[in-house]
Amino acid sequence: MSLPLTQRRTAAALVTAALLVPLAACGSNDDAKKDGAAAPKVNLTVLAASSLTDVFKKAGAAYEKEHPGTQVHFSFAGSQELAAQVKQGAPADALVTADTKTMDGLKADTGTPTVIAKNRLVIATGEGNPKKIDNLKALTGSKLKVVLAAAEVPVGRYSKLVLDAQKLAVKPVSQEPNVRAVLSKVELGEADAGIVYKTDAATAPDKVDAVDIPDAQNAVASYPAATLKTSKNSKASAAFVKWLSTPEAQKLLQQAGFQKP
């Protein structure tokens, strides 16, 4: 039995519409590709040692430019603070510390680490070095206000290492939670001197002077980077950590005063 003309037309229209829907969808995807529609965004959170603050801000911008759709957010603190955050399950994707000891203590929480840079210590003094500090021994002066990082902080541990090696007893007026806090005390004139990384002193050339420590008396700080096993962006996290060893990233690090890994 044939359908009435009106019903036949309705049925034909429905069939035509059903055929056009997938075609329209395909056309929409093709148009998006042609128009260069942005890929879904990935937000990476990187926990990084305080001494990387300035250079990593530049590195993050460079990485985002190379990887459209990926945004990198940094959380800077002393390495020991970062380790505590990881152990407490803080949501993050990658970790970069200022020493291998801290990273080694997190083997259960990270991927295989890669050293991306090295650093050395200097003595930071007030601009113009008004106290005429020229070596480590000068830091033992009883009238001198010296500030150091706490012993559990990598730069504090390195400082103790070099002072102990020279059999020098320095009594700091305060022990700070990270290297930037040590630098700040000297910048503000609250301390006459402090031991910091060479790269940190270089961030405040108009406020502090850097007195070099001879290589034979110095310590080398290594900066390992690793992905975090709890990352929800494992591929993107691994890509960022790998990128830190590329020529472009290494150029930024070395321009900031860091040494080759």
State pLDDT tens for residues 30-52: 443 444 445 569 999 999 999 99
pLDDT of residue 35: 43
Q: For residues 246 and 155, what is the distance between their CA atoms, to the nearest angstrom?
A: 26
Task: Specify the DSSP element, H or E, that contains 162.
Answer: helix 154-165
pLDDT of residue 27: 40
pLDDT class of 223 with cuts at 50, 70, 90: very high
Query: Is the CB of residue 200 less than 8 Å from the CB of residue 208?
Result: no
In this predicted structure, the answer to whether residue 10 has a pLDDT above a threshold of 90 is no
pLDDT of residue 18: 42
Residues of the chain by 3-state class (helix, strand, coil), percent to 5: 45, 25, 35
Do 119-220 and 42-118+222-255 have the same topology in CATH? yes
The pTM of this model reads 0.83
pLDDT of residue 38: 54
Report domain extents, the chain.
42-118+222-255, 119-220
pLDDT of residue 131: 95
CATH of 42-118+222-255, one of 2.60.120.10, 3.40.190.10, 1.20.1440.230, 3.10.180.10: 3.40.190.10
Mean pLDDT of 86-103: 97
Domain topology for 119-220 = D-Maltodextrin-Binding Protein; domain 2 (3.40.190)
pLDDT of residue 13: 44
Sole residue written with tokens 């942005």: 38
State pLDDT tens for residues 231-246: 999 999 999 999 999 9
DSSP three-state, residue 215: helix
- Torsion from C-alpha of 204, 152, 211, 183, nearest 10 degrees: 20
Query: Is the CB of residue 161 less than 8 Å from the CB of residue 153?
Result: no
* Whole-number average pLDDT of the chain: 88
| Least reliable range by pLDDT among 5-9, 54-58, 193-197, 220-224 | 5-9
